[in-house]
């Protein structure tokens, strides 16, 4: 893969252009990848402040304490998040900040899920420095960037439905997301109560709220909805 296919779409809200991006947050648990990417961004864009986080929870806390960056580069698989969960979670905190998903996994279904969840783009970790910089610049100018050869699997209506579902999942609180993750692993309420050190009655209250927010009637339906947008798994 040597380039990225560009799908131009109008920006939905005012935000910094590529030349105005001054503060980036990289969320990646691999130290060498994180350091190399930070150095590339500093040199290519003249950035002085490139923030890093090694997990999704660390990124969430850093944003809460230090404020929103101008752009985010997010690894697909983190110690505490896989699949579209990272995008869904950060979108709740950063509704207008461009978030780029970066991964070696170029499966079409995963790319579709990330884009529907609100990613500004999805790029390969194997891109050359020139292609990486070009892709990021285009994204920060408001374009949506996907890997060369990627073909969306859904028609427009299905893509919109998936995006709406991702927005519903984004309304879950962190604790509700934790409980939903355990539900998707097949855990019973008693097991969830033990794992999260909360009362079983509290688990039931959260589950009721989860079902209401994502418009699901049964646990099995909630699992199917989460799987349909690849919320907790990458493959």
**pLDDT digits 0-9 by tens, 17-68:** 667 788 999 999 998 888 999 999 999 998 888 999 999 999 999 999 999 9
Q: What is the pLDDT of residue 4?
A: 46
Alpha carbon distance 87, 174 (integer Å): 13
Confidence of residue 153 (pLDDT cuts 50, 70, 90): low
pLDDT at residue 48, as a whole number: 81
Q: What is the pLDDT of residue 156?
A: 62
Chain mean pLDDT for the chain: 87
Which pLDDT score is estimated for 110?
A: 87
pTM score, two decimals?
Answer: 0.81
Q: How confident is the model at residue 154 (pLDDT cuts 50, 70, 90)?
A: low
Tokens coding 180: 């939903």
Orientation of helix 219-228 relative to helix 156-170, angle to 10°: 120
Contact (CB, 8 A) for 220 and 211: no
pLDDT at 94 over 50: yes
Domains of the chain, first to last = 4-147 (3.40.50.2300), 171-228 (1.10.10.10)
The answer to whether residues 187 and 195 touch, using CB atoms and an 8 Å cutoff, is yes
Tokens of residue 39, six digits = 């150095």
Which residue shows structure tokens 């299905």? Answer: 158
Per-residue pLDDT averaged across 144-171, rounded?
80
First and final C-alpha spacing in the chain? 20
Q: Which of 76-85, 152-161, 182-191, 210-219 has the lowest mean pLDDT?
A: 152-161
Residue 94 DSSP class = -
CB atoms within 10 A of CB 50: 20
């Amino acid at each position: 893969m040597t380039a990225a296919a560009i799908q131009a779409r109008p920006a939905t809200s005012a935000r910094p252009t590529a030349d105005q991006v001054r503060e980036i947050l990289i969320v990646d648990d691999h130290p060498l990848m994180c350091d190399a990417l930070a150095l590339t961004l500093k040199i290519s864009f003249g950035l002085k402040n490139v923030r890093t986080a090694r997990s999704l929870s660390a990124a969430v806390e850093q944003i809460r304490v230090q404020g929103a960056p101008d752009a985010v580069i997010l690894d697909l698989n983190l110690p505490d998040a896989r699949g579209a969960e990272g995008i869904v979670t950060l979108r709740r905190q950063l509704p207008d900040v461009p978030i780029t998903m970066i991964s070696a996994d170029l499966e079409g279904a995963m790319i579709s899920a990330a884009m529907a969840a609100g990613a500004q783009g999805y790029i390969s970790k194997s891109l050359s420095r020139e292609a990486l910089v070009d892709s990021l610049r285009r994204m920060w100018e408001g374009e949506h960037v996907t890997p060369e050869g990627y073909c969306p699997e859904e028609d427009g209506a299905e893509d919109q439905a998936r995006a709406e579902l991702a927005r519903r999942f984004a309304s879950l609180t962190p604790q509700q997301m934790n409980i939903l993750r355990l539900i998707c692993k097949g855990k019973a309420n008693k097991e969830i109560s033990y794992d999260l050190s909360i009362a079983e009655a509290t688990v039931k209250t959260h589950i009721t709220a989860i079902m209401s927010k994502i418009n699901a009637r049964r646990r099995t339906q909630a699992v199917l909805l989460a799987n349909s947008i690849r919320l907790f798994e990458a493959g």
